[in-house]
Amino acid sequence: MLGFLWPFFFFIVAELVNTSILPPRPFITRTELLWTPGVGEITAYRIPVITQCHDGSVVTFSEARKYESGDRGSKFIAFRKSKNAGQSWSTTRFLVDDWTHPDGLNLGAVVVDKEVKTLILLYSTCAHFQCTTRNMTARQFQIRSNDCGETWSKPIDLAKANHDLFNWTWTAGPGYGIQKTLKPHKGRLIVCGHTNVLPMGLYCIFSDDHGFTWKRGAKLLSIPYAGPLYQGSFAPTENQLVELKDGTLYFDARNEYKYRCHCRIYFNSTDGGYTIPIETLNFNSVAVDPTCDGSILLHNDVLYMSHANNDTQRVNTTLRWSMDYGKTWPYSMNVNPGDSGYSCLTRLSDNHIGLVYEKNIGPLWFVKIQLHL
């Protein structure tokens, strides 16, 4: 009888030791300073964005702020690339220059279209309060690359082919967008962002033709809709999304006015990004947050999150991971206990993820994280 059961016993043991079903035990294997301010005319590097391209290389972007570290002011878009999973990086290239524009450009989100092997970077100009106070027009742009960042198109004004986006005070990201791999709307590109102009809130755009035309999609607006907004008002802003294994979209968002908690909030969409029902609102009470941009990444059925883990100060960059698609977050690892800011996650390999984050105001760091021994 026991001899008959032995094969089943070994099968069960083999399944239990399979790392794909065990919680990761992450540890940092490499730390690198990607960008440091004070070189040339750059005062600060901010707003880290990173993703893995369709050829396996890793591309990262930032705002190179020329004369001041604040959000408003002239900037470059800085770019670096790694062909070996973050072990080494190309020298910095500046892809876009807004010259001396008083509002400056705003980065923005990157999305990879694996169907046509294209890398798309979206950014905007005049996405802050000057658009209304100075009667300026917000403009959305994209640049495209068919070789994972070796060469780029000239900037394309999205409003020329997308009248739905004309004069819209909105900025993509910061972070990355997705291409849906499951129904509904398999193959759709979805990029989400926010606006700080009333009605404040979370907005998405989507494309079903590989990024040549875009339409407005899901949105969640502030309450009250037209303001004024106070501490405790509902106002989701900077956000990122992932697609879960059933095709549902999971959004993690900055809780701008700390609606009901000093923590991150999340939502779902089941119609491919057309709508985000307010009924799906939930609170990630474990992920306390000082109102700062964070990041999420679904990798090998594990959902990861990075954020500044403090309820009042931008400090303590933390990596969290969930084995039940964000319902609970029992695991965490500290990345940087000191001054911290925005962060962005990406896949590097089956057993590695990468994180770029702000440490203090100005430099941007990269860490390579191994998930299993």
Tell me if residue 339 is catalytic. Answer: no
Report the Cα 212 to chain-centroid distance in Å: 21
Q: Could you give the CA distance from residue 346 to residue 344 in angstroms, rounded to a whole number? A: 7
Query: Which residues pair with residue 94 across a beta bridge?
Result: 78
Tell me if residue 243 is catalytic. Answer: no
Whose tokens are 């009042």? That residue is: 312
Tell me if residue 15 is catalytic. Answer: no
Q: Considering the candidates 176, 250, 259, 342, report the single residue annotated as catalytic.
A: 342
Tokens of 79: 């770019």
Q: Considering the candidates 63, 98, 243, 358, report the single residue annotated as catalytic.
A: 358
Tell me if residue 71 is catalytic. Answer: yes
Pairing of strands 249-255, 236-243: antiparallel
Tokens of 178: 């997705």
Q: Could you give the CA distance from residue 327 to residue 45 in angstroms, rounded to a whole number? A: 34
Pick from 273, 99, 113: nearest CA to 202: 273
Q: Considering the candidates 113, 238, 243, 289, report the single residue annotated as catalytic.
A: 238
- CB neighbour class for 27 (10 Å; exposed up to 12, middle 13-18, buried from 19): exposed
Residues 6+ apart with CB under 8 A from 75: 63, 64, 65, 66, 98, 104, 105, 107
Pick from 312, 358, 354: nearest CA to 339: 358
Q: Considering the candidates 32, 71, 157, 271, report the single residue annotated as catalytic.
A: 71
Q: Could you give the CA distance from residue 74 to residue 10 in angstroms, rounded to a whole number? A: 63
Report the Cα 260 to chain-centroid distance in Å: 24
Residues 6+ apart with CB under 8 A from 289: 254, 255, 262, 263, 264, 307, 308, 309, 310, 311
Catalytic residues: 71, 238, 342, 358
